[in-house]
Chains A and B, each alone.
Chain A
Amino acid sequence: MRFGIDRLGLTLAIAAGLSLLLPLVNLQPNRILPGSAVALDLLLAQPGMQLFILILLPTLLISAVHAHATLKLLLGALSLLALIYGVGASGDALLQDQGPFARLALGSGFWTLSLLLGLLMTDALIKQRIGALLRLLLVGVYLALIFALLASGHWDGISLLLEYHNQPAFWQQGARHLLLALGSILPALVIGVPLGIRCHRSPRLRTALIPLLSLLQTIPSLAMFGLLMIPLSLIALAYPALAALGIRGIGAAPAVIALFLYSLLPIVSNTAAGFDGVDRNVLLAARGMGMSRRQLLWQIELPLALPVMLSGLRIVVTMNIGLVAVAGLIGGGGYGTYIFQGLGQTATDLVLLGTLPTILLAFLAAMLIDTLIAMTRKEDA
């Protein structure tokens, strides 16, 4: 093992140390009024936070030098868990003698520290060079641990969890969020993949189609929803049967259609690029040995183009999960609903209750597809 300073680790450690000076938690008299930062010394008097500091200090020291990545990963993971536990466990003591609506809101220090610890873990995870499948498993187990901590009741004084308890439909909204995102991708795949293959075979189609799809991408999502509302409302008026099926100017229909249109470009262009990338010699050899067009497509072209096609899918999935949040504004449902409600009520934590799961979903979906890509590339990497 080499001894010496790990530059990235040192930077992260210094930044993490400094972020302790930012407010970790704010004490709010109720859910709307801005709170005041809880002083660090008061916070450090809590046993939960003392435990956190006890774990954080060696973590930062180890992170600043060249050390085994597993050790860094383990310490970083422990620190973040300890931070989540510590903040939650301090809640009861800090909220004593406060009014009935008082609550703790997570402060900028908490978010900065979480982010920095996350970076530390990511760096260690990359240096570990572990397989994509194992990585997915590790992240899954770790997230389960965090959720267990949140559900353990320690966090019930934290305003994010209070907002969560106010939203009985939280998980239904999550399912709807995914449904909207994936429901728009499926038709985009069914139409986009064959279109991409056509584009690969016909340069003329490509020069006509790709600029058109790019143009669609440049339309801001809100404007796109607005553009779709008018024709969809007219259709709903003219055909009440369709309206009963949910084809209306507001709601899910314009959202799904807009997301479908956005999804086309990455899917079409990555499919075409994937097919372009197949070695001409491989195709010549395959044809020369007597493969039919269909065999060539299914046995040679598709498997070889798949990694590039999947990276297009990755773009679309993460993009759509983010864009579905905007659909909340036009009554499409999903986590965006909380974001816009929260904005309307100036309730920051309700906004977070919509934002954090959206980010988490996008992150998990991207990781899942990365794992798929790694598995399809295994042979020819």
Chain B
Amino acid sequence: MIELRGLTRTFGERIAVDNLDLRVESGEICALIGTSGCGKSTTLKMINRLIEPTAGQVLINGEDVRRQPPEQLRRRIGYAIQGVGLFPHRTVYDNIAAVPRLLGWTRLQIDDRVRELLELLKMAFDTFAHQYPHRLSGGEQQRIGVARALAARPELMLMDEPFGALDPLTRERLQGELKQIQRLLGITIILVTHDMEEAIRLADRIAVMDGGRLLQVGTPLELLRHPREGFVSQLVGGEERALRLLSLRTIAELMQPAELFALTDDTPSIAAGSSLRDALARQLWQRAPVLRVVDAEGKTCGAIGLEQMLNAGDGN
């Protein structure tokens, strides 16, 4: 569990972060969202002491981060940034091995860990391990950046707009992979972003910041349904909120028994695990008011019509 208590940082006259209180539970992804200059990156950097707070404290599992030297603290915390910052003069292998080497792991341990991580990120060891970073695509570089951050098995990972520089397709794929990995490893992630879609897709809880202050914290659903007036409700989007809400819920939650509809062989089908947003898109695209819902084995397990959709996207 990470606790920020009365965290404040000023740069000269300017207050970058203003008396911020936040609790992030172990094993959850918390997104810090806001426009640029709102203090979200500064907040992140105060957690691993890249910036020291003017006032307040950061507790990790109840222990003040200032109780240990910053270098030792940082080696226990994963850190991934937008620019990736892979070491250009070192191979992928040596990049991933950086923190384990700082921690004095044996060669065998390091070798096992690098192989394990490349496999986790679906990158073939023989193809990638001995490449230099400039030979990799942007998406591959960021994967290695994440692998490097995870190398020493941190319980906490800090990410500063890690996918900001990627094209939308790659970004979405990496977001999916990150979520899977996070669930698999059970680590805590604090993610800085300015992209509401990203926050909704990834985060268990979203903390909205503006002008150095925390405006609202809640699950994506809470935020979309009951955004505070002003900045937060602007950020979650006016009309778009409906679609965002749909994207948070699965078809399985809302589908009806198949017998209620006259399904034919021509009725398009969709997987039960897809989001309602996907279902709506399919309905519009194929001009089908009703979709057949199928389970993982491809068997019909229900159906969903436009009417159910209309009831799900109104914010209640």
Chain B residues near A285 (CB-CB < 8 A): 79, 81, 83-87, 145, 148
For B81, give its contact among A288, A292, A379, A380 (CB under 8 Å): A288
Q: Which residue of A lies closest to B85 (CB)?
A: A285
Q: How far is the CA of A283 from the CA of B148 in the complex (A)?
A: 15
* Total number of A residues with any Cβ neighbor in B under 8 Å: 20
Q: How far is the CA of A292 from the CA of B102 in the complex (A)?
A: 10
Most buried by B among A281, A286, A303: A281
For B79, give its contact among A282, A288, A295, A379 (CB under 8 Å): A288
Q: 8 Å CB contacts to A: which residues of B54-92?
A: 70-76, 79, 81-90
Binding site of A, secondary structure by majority: helix, strand, loop or mixed? helix
- Min CB distance B301 to A, Å, is 47
* B303, CB-defined interface residue at 8 Å: no
Q: Which residue of A lies closest to B79 (CB)?
A: A288
- Min CB distance B120 to A, Å, is 18
* A279, CB-defined interface residue at 8 Å: yes
Question: Is A281 a contact of B71 with CB atoms below 8 Å?
Answer: no
For B74, give its contact among A280, A281, A290 (CB under 8 Å): A290
Q: How far is the CA of A8 from the CA of B50 in the complex (A)?
A: 57
Question: Is A304 a contact of B102 with CB atoms below 8 Å?
Answer: no
Question: Is A282 a contact of B75 with CB atoms below 8 Å?
Answer: no
A 270-314 binary contact with B (CB < 8 Å = 1; else 0)? 000000000111111111111110010000100110000000000
Question: Is A288 a contact of B89 with CB atoms below 8 Å?
Answer: no
Question: Is B88 a contact of A279 with CB atoms below 8 Å?
Answer: yes
A 336-354 binary contact with B (CB < 8 Å = 1; else 0)? 0000000000000000000
* Total number of B residues with any Cβ neighbor in A under 8 Å: 29
Question: Is A281 a contact of B81 with CB atoms below 8 Å?
Answer: yes
Chain A residues near B79 (CB-CB < 8 A): 285, 288-289
Chain A residues near B149 (CB-CB < 8 A): 289
Q: 8 Å CB contacts to A: which residues of B134-179?
A: 134, 145, 148-149, 158
- Min CB distance B1 to A, Å, is 21
Q: Which residue of A lies closest to B149 (CB)?
A: A289
Question: Is B75 a contact of A290 with CB atoms below 8 Å?
Answer: yes
Q: How far is the CA of A304 from the CA of B133 in the complex (A)?
A: 14
Binding site of B, secondary structure by majority: helix, strand, loop or mixed? mixed
Chain B residues near A380 (CB-CB < 8 A): 88-89, 132, 134
* B48, CB-defined interface residue at 8 Å: yes
For B87, give its contact among A282, A284, A287 (CB under 8 Å): A282
Q: How far is the CA of A314 from the CA of B175 in the complex (A)?
A: 47
* B123, CB-defined interface residue at 8 Å: no
Q: How far is the CA of A379 from the CA of B298 in the complex (A)?
A: 50
Q: How far is the CA of A295 from the CA of B98 in the complex (A)?
A: 11
- Min CB distance A70 to B, Å, is 29
Question: Is B148 a contact of A284 with CB atoms below 8 Å?
Answer: no
* B99, CB-defined interface residue at 8 Å: yes
- Min CB distance B65 to A, Å, is 13
Q: How far is the CA of A291 from the CA of B132 in the complex (A)?
A: 21
For A281, give its contact among B48, B72, B85, B89 (CB under 8 Å): B85
Q: A281-B81, A281-B83, A284-B83 are in contact. Are A291 and B89 (CB under 8 A)?
A: no
- Min CB distance A278 to B, Å, is 9
Most buried by B among A283, A287, A289, A303: A289
Q: 8 Å CB contacts to A: which residues of B77-135?
A: 79, 81-90, 98-99, 102, 132, 134
B 17-53 binary contact with A (CB < 8 Å = 1; else 0)? 0000000000000000000000000000000101000
Chain A residues near B98 (CB-CB < 8 A): 286, 289
Q: How far is the CA of A288 from the CA of B83 in the complex (A)?
A: 13
Question: Is B84 a contact of A286 with CB atoms below 8 Å?
Answer: no
A-B contacts besides A288-B74, A290-B74, 8 pairs, CB < 8 Å: A284-B85, A285-B79, A289-B75, A289-B102, A289-B149, A290-B72, A380-B88, A380-B132
Residues of B that sit less than 8 Å from A by CB:
48, 50, 70-76, 79, 81-90, 98-99, 102, 132, 134, 145, 148-149, 158
28 chain-A/chain-B pairs, Cβ below 8 angstroms? A279-B85, A279-B88, A281-B81, A281-B84, A282-B88, A284-B50, A284-B81, A285-B81, A285-B83, A285-B85, A285-B86, A286-B85, A286-B98, A288-B74, A288-B79, A289-B75, A289-B79, A289-B98, A289-B99, A289-B102, A289-B148, A290-B71, A290-B74, A291-B71, A303-B89, A304-B89, A379-B90, A380-B134
Residues of A that sit less than 8 Å from B by CB:
279-292, 295, 300, 303-304, 379-380
The 6 closest A-B pairs by CB, nearest first: A285-B85, A281-B83, A290-B74, A290-B75, A288-B79, A281-B85
